[in-house]
Amino acid sequence: MRRKKIVRDTKETKIVLALEIDGTGAYEINTGCGFLNHMLELFSRHGRFDIAVDCNGDTDVDYHHTTEDIGIAMGKAFKEALGDKRGIYRYGSMILPMDETLMLCAVDISGRSCVSFDVDIPTEKVGDFDTELVEEFVTAFARESGMTIHIRMLAGENTHHIIEAVFKSLGRALRTACAIEEEYADEIPSTKGVL
């Protein structure tokens, strides 16, 4: 099984995160932020990743460090759980509708971090969550995992729906990219022979 546990302990956050890539979508999420909990639960369920997150962060300041550091821990967990990436499909994409919202997400587990985030979020907050932190999460996750991630909003008006579509589409695209291509399970999906 491809699984990893990450412990991140800084002056800003204390995080214990467990990931099982070949899961069922089970989750146990406690970030200290209800909205972020909800988004990570959606990511877990739609990616079919088993994820447990316990974060004690400086939420008396805001949710910035919590969100970014969970992205860091999640990215490290994926990178380490995928190992040499032997047999994976490597690429995954999803065009996901969420009511009036339509979100495109494409992922390449390339070993190279790159983010293109073209999402127009109409409000600065959902509840007490700063919506600019969505991009911070994706950027931290991509940097630590060594993935290329493109996210494009094709349509959308409602902030909650837009952000929900980001996390669901990322989960779905990653589910495909992480899956093992049985016919080529012993091969690295690159002409270089390494990812």
Q: What digits encode the pLDDT tens for the residues 121-163?
A: 999 999 999 999 999 999 999 999 999 999 999 999 999 999 9
pLDDT one-digit tens code per residue, 27-75:
999 999 999 999 999 999 999 999 999 999 999 999 999 999 999 999 9
Q: In which band, very low, low, confident or very high, does the pLDDT at 81 lie, cut at 50, 70 and 90?
A: very high
The whole-angstrom separation of Cα 182 and Cα 50 is: 21
| CB proximity list for 175: less than 8 A, separation 6 or greater | 46, 47, 48, 49, 92
Q: For position 75, what pLDDT does the model report?
A: 98
Q: In which band, very low, low, confident or very high, does the pLDDT at 1 lie, cut at 50, 70 and 90?
A: confident
Q: Say what percent of the chain tops pLDDT 90.
A: 99
Q: In which band, very low, low, confident or very high, does the pLDDT at 76 lie, cut at 50, 70 and 90?
A: very high
Residue with tokens 């209800």: 34
CA atoms within 13 A on the CB side of 60: 2
Contact between residue 174 and residue 47 where contact means Cβ atoms under 8 Å apart: yes
The whole-angstrom separation of Cα 77 and Cα 50 is: 12
The whole-angstrom separation of Cα 109 and Cα 145 is: 8
- Could you tell me the strand order of the sheet in which 114-118 lies? 91-98, 101-108, 148-155, 114-118
The whole-angstrom separation of Cα 83 and Cα 170 is: 20
* Range 71-85 average pLDDT: 98
Pairing of strands 50-57, 27-30: parallel
Q: Which amino acid is at 182?
A: E
The whole-angstrom separation of Cα 115 and Cα 92 is: 15
Determine phi and psi for 181, rounding to 5 degrees.
Answer: -85, 100
Token digits of residue 66: 């919590």
